[in-house]
Amino acid sequence: MPPTSPFLVLNKPCDKAVAWAVQLLEQNGLHPVQTFDLQTARLAHADCPCPHHGTAHCTCQMVVLLVYQGDNLPATMTIHGNTEASWFYIVNTPQQPIGQQVEKHIEDVLNLATDATI
């Protein structure tokens, strides 16, 4: 489960936010690997209505990226969003710890790029 507060919120559709993040992370020496896509997973369950919309048509999205840096264990980053905005979280729990330097590097890469575009 992601932390309750995102480290970044973008006013971009989730698919565009994920592509943006992957490109930036790769340009900064990190290796993101997508391991989950909610919309792809929903394809196997056509009769599963969205809990937020109550219909089969759902604009909700959740993507999970494992972000590798060198020989460190990967950091798990989740991006939740819809067609209007995207929320970024890094999972850092006792069950799934990551190093402070890896977490800071990921956050700095994405936050600094956001600051530069504003």
Residue 57: its pLDDT value, please?
A: 65
Residue 16: name the closest of 97, 82, 93 by CA.
82
If the chain, 118 residues long, is cut into consecutive pieces of 10 residues, what is the mean pLDDT of each piece? 78 94 96 86 66 63 92 92 92 88 94 73
| Helix extents (H) in the chain | 14-27, 38-42, 100-117
Radius of gyration (Cα) for the chain, nearest Å?
15
pLDDT recorded at residue 72: 86
Whole-number pLDDT of residue 2: 47
96 token code pair: 């799934």
In the chain, what are the domains?
Answer: 8-117 (3.30.310)
Question: What is the per-residue pLDDT for 55?
Answer: 56
